[in-house]
Amino acid sequence: MSHIHDTIVALQHSSPAQKEFYQAVEEVLTSLAPVIESNNKYKEQAIIQRIVEPERQIMFRVPWVDDAGNVQVNKGYRVEFNSALGPYKGGLRFHHSVNASIIKFLGFEQIFKNALTGLPIGGGKGGSNFDPKGKSDGEIMRFCQSFMNELYRHIGPVTDVPAGDIGVGAREIGYMFGQYKRLTGRYEGVLTGKSLLWGGSLVRKEATGYGTVYFAECMLNDRNDSLKGKTCLVSGAGNVAIYAIEKLYHMGATPVTCSDSRGTIYHEHGIDLQLLKQLKEVKRASLEEYLDTYPEAEYTPLGDYPNEGHAVWRYQADAAFPCATQNELTSNDALALIDNGCVLISEGANMPTTRDAVNIIVDSEMAYGPAKAANAGGVATSQLEMAQNASMQNWTFEQVDSQLQTIMKNIFINANETSREFGQPGNLVLGANIAGFRRVADAMIEQGIV
């Protein structure tokens, strides 16, 4: 275990003040202990030291002019973490909390997630501390164009293919694609999550949420159970949460919560999906407005919960789907879920569970689908978009959806079998980390010291 400690200490010196990144590295390295100890080749080839260091990190200035004529400046990032398995692939996050630590933790997770899909994609991530919330369309467009003025020279359909993440949806992808085309004169699959009108793939928008629910169903089926009839807690109100809620209804479950940066809605009879889409996808409004239509629903403003943790996890339910952001589910929340009889957690967001909470959950009886396995459906469907772009084809909704289901099932089988192989059956944190790591590490070894 000393190599874990040594690696974290070395990172703390070489890359100071990146706590989310250390958290992601520590979780992965802890799971890898048995495979590192039993295989000298990983030590001899310094795979751990190489894998925690991005191949390339790009940081740039993003100046733009707001509607009042003032010049604004944001920071832009693209971390090209690992290309052993294919071109760098991963989203762009636009959120005020973005910094080098957040982008690096996301990029690091992305390497193993992408490896788990079995598809030919490396790991990368990018973004900006720009916050699209409250900005006009004109401001968003000018920001995206300025962001692409630098990014275009680093990306390409066979080098690095960004997509969306928090704060980056079809609108932002559209403005960035337009600017890329203007700068390079090339119409090519350089971004995924594109509009269906011009190169996007059916199911991409739904894929992360749907995939998280498919993964949950695999976990439950393995225990001779299913989502049918289950009451579910969902956090978030973005792309991932909305389509997790949609798929939960398809599976005969009842999602009773959702949340945004200001508060949580609890609706005992089930969240009204059409109203949620209207509020978030069309009006970009606060969830509090849900009460205008359903005064009987309960709204808890963020921070009003008396104990440390989040109101969304304190309702009685059978299953929980964290689909908002990192570290949104704490140890107190985990204990509350267990007390309330929750039997499953499937993570739609990236690293939504704190380190302490992960330990509590892994030691419990709950089925637990960690993010890099459970939310890999989004990036997997991005790769299906790349494949359609490269072959100039458009697949039907059913074709893409059935591939997504197969991919999620295979990820579950792979992580589950790996957990058995290493003597911890059902520990999908261990199984997913080792299965993803082995594919990347073995590819790195075969490609030499580069």
**What residues form the annotated binding site for substrate?**
89, 110, 113, 164, 382
Question: Considering the rule CB under 6 A, would residue 167 count as an interface residue with ligand GLU?
Answer: no
Using CB under 6 A, pick the residue from 47, 116, 144, 163 that binds ligand GLU: 163
CA gap 263, 324 in Å, rounded: 12
Which residue is at the shortest CB distance from ligand GLU?
A: 91
176-208 core/surface letters (b: 16 or more CB in 10 A; e: else): bbebbeeeeeeebbbbbbbeeeebbbbbbbbbb
Paired strand residues for 345: 320, 368
- Residue 296 CB contacts under 8 Å (≥ 6 apart), including other chains: none
Stretch that binds ligand GLU, among 66-74, 336-344, 377-385, 396-404 (CB under 6 A): 377-385
Using CB under 6 A, pick the residue from 139, 165, 260, 401 that binds ligand GLU: 165
SS3 call for 159: coil
Q: What is the H or E stretch that residue 47 is in?
A: helix 47-51
Give 317 or 379: the residue with its C-beta nearer to ligand GLU.
379
Give 27 or 165: the residue with its C-beta nearer to ligand GLU.
165
Least distance from ligand GLU to the Cβ atom of residue 440, Å = 16
In this structure, the strands spanning 88-94 and 160-163 are: parallel
Least distance from ligand GLU to the Cβ atom of residue 205, Å = 11
Q: What is each CA distance from 219 to 256, 374, 405, 423, in whole angstroms?
A: 21, 10, 13, 18
Give 101 or 192: the residue with its C-beta nearer to ligand GLU.
192
CA gap 77, 150 in Å, rounded: 10
- Residue 43 CB contacts under 8 Å (≥ 6 apart), including other chains: 3, 36
Give 106 or 342: the residue with its C-beta nearer to ligand GLU.
106
Summarize the annotated binding site as residue ranges: 89, 110, 113, 164, 208, 239, 382
Quote the DSSP letter at residue 279.
Answer: I
**Residue 125 designated active-site:** yes
CA gap 393, 304 in Å, rounded: 50
Using CB under 6 A, pick the residue from 76, 86, 87, 90 that binds ligand GLU: 90
Residue positions counted in the chain: 450
CB 65 within 8 A of CB 425: no
What residues from 172 to 211 belong to the interface with ligand GLU (CB under 6 A)? 192
CB 163 within 8 A of CB 194: no
Using CB under 6 A, pick the residue from 350, 353, 354, 419 that binds ligand GLU: 350
Least distance from ligand GLU to the Cβ atom of residue 241, Å = 14
CA 227 to chain CA centroid, Å, is 22
CB 132 within 8 A of CB 97: no
Stretch that binds ligand GLU, among 15-23, 40-48, 88-96, 354-362 (CB under 6 A): 88-96
Least distance from ligand GLU to the Cβ atom of residue 228, Å = 28
Question: Considering the rule CB under 6 A, would residue 378 count as an interface residue with ligand GLU?
Answer: yes
Least distance from ligand GLU to the Cβ atom of residue 288, Å = 27
Using the structure block, give the residue that is written with the tokens 């959120």: 95
Give 74 or 212: the residue with its C-beta nearer to ligand GLU.
212
Give 168 or 360: the residue with its C-beta nearer to ligand GLU.
168
Stretch that binds ligand GLU, among 56-64, 261-269, 375-383, 425-433 (CB under 6 A): 375-383
89 token code pair:
């692939």
Least distance from ligand GLU to the Cβ atom of residue 100, Å = 17
Residue of 75, 104, 125, 228 with catalytic role: 125
136 CB neighbour count, 10 Å cutoff? 10
Summarize the annotated binding site for NAD(+) as residue ranges: 208, 239
Using CB under 6 A, pick the residue from 76, 79, 87, 89 that binds ligand GLU: 89
Q: What is the H or E stretch that residue 77 is in?
A: strand 71-82
Using CB under 6 A, pick the residue from 202, 379, 404, 435 that binds ligand GLU: 379
Least distance from ligand GLU to the Cβ atom of residue 105, Å = 11
Instruction: For CA atoms 100, 168, 130, 283, give the dihedral sign.
Output: negative
Question: Considering the rule CB under 6 A, would residue 382 count as an interface residue with ligand GLU?
Answer: yes
Torsion of CA 206, 208, 213, 218, to 10 degrees: 120
Using CB under 6 A, pick the residue from 76, 91, 118, 209 that binds ligand GLU: 91
Using the structure block, give the residue that is written with the tokens 């299953």: 319
CA gap 430, 353 in Å, rounded: 15
Least distance from ligand GLU to the Cβ atom of residue 21, Å = 15
CA 212 to chain CA centroid, Å, is 10
Give 230 or 372: the residue with its C-beta nearer to ligand GLU.
372
Stretch that binds ligand GLU, among 171-179, 221-229, 247-255, 376-384 (CB under 6 A): 376-384
Stretch that binds ligand GLU, among 14-22, 89-97, 194-202, 222-230 (CB under 6 A): 89-97
Give the residue numbers annotated as catalytic, written as ranges. Answer: 125
Name the residues that contact ligand GLU, by CB under 6 A.
89-91, 163, 165, 192, 350, 378-379, 382
